[in-house]
Amino acid sequence: MLIQSDVHSFLKNLGIKPSDTVVMHTSMKALGEVEGGCDGLIDFFKSYLYDGLFVIPTHTWASVGHTVFEYDPKRSVPCIGALPTVAAFRPDGVRSLHPTHSVAAFGARAAEFVKGEEKSTSPCPVGGVWSRFYDEEAKILLVGVGLNRNTYIHAIDELIDLPGRLTPSVHITIIDGENRYETDFRKHSSNTGSENFGVFERPLAKLGAIKYSKLGEADVMCVDARKCTEIIKNLWAKADYHLCKAEKDIPEEYYT
């Protein structure tokens, strides 16, 4: 069974400091048994990152903008698994007002960090929460999942304005208590290639943006957001084809 000391040792061994910003995509099934389940896991990370930020994605893209056109952080249920569903409604967290790619943030700076997300008009806009992970020099933990679950790569796509990544806009209402915000929102198109984000693993690992580890029964990738950004920007600058169109190794001559 995974306990608090295991999580603290895991983070320390990765070189993560209590003041760092950590984002985590997790498969609870891959982790195995955890003391206290989802709540216990959140508590373990929070207790280590006592001077930092702990962030869990709480996305609702499967419904909001498709079958419903309202987002309420107190009611909208995440579509990406057990841990996000628990994190979204914890009273000690602050859930952002982003309609499709919200996060639950924990820590003293949480409210300030997620401020302004109701103004978002795309999934990972420049200046939004997902792009702020670059400035934070965040560590992105992929626990029992692959790079195809790394939402941060979409923020890089928007930063370099890759074509064909967004749909025409739909109208969405964001509900925050008595406040209502209206936004014309562009969602991800079917051309993002996210199912093939794994093609970035080899260059990211070779160029030092990924550390590998283990937590419980799960294999883990720890991705440095800043290094990841610079490497992927460089790869796209040299590419003469859609890097994520298929599972095709990126040529090593693109690495430099």
Render pLDDT for 214-225 as a digit per residue (tens, 0 to 9). 999 999 999 999
State mean pLDDT over 51-65: 97
Structure tokens, 36: 């206290």
Confidence band of 45 (pLDDT split at 50, 70, 90): very high
Give residues with Cβ within 8 angstroms of 160, minimum separation 6.
233, 236
Judged against a pLDDT cut of 90, whether residue 127 lies above it is answered with yes
Question: What's this model's pTM, rounded to 2 decimal places?
Answer: 0.96
| Per-residue confidence (pLDDT) for residue 111, from 0 to 100 | 98
**E strands along the chain, which residues?**
21-26, 53-57, 70-71, 94-95, 103-106, 139-143, 166-176, 179-188, 210-215, 218-224
Residue 247, pLDDT above cutoff 90: no
The HSE-up count of residue 86 (CA atoms within 13 Å, CB side) is 12
| pLDDT tier for residue 150 given thresholds of 50, 70 and 90 | very high
Q: E-strand spans in 148-217? A: 166-176, 179-188, 210-215
Q: Tell me the mean pLDDT in the region 137-157.
A: 98
**Separation between Cα atoms, residue 210 and residue 201, nearest integer Å:** 8
For residue 14, give both structure tokens.
């990765």
What confidence category does residue 88 fall into, taking pLDDT thresholds of 50, 70 and 90? very high
pLDDT for res 214: 98
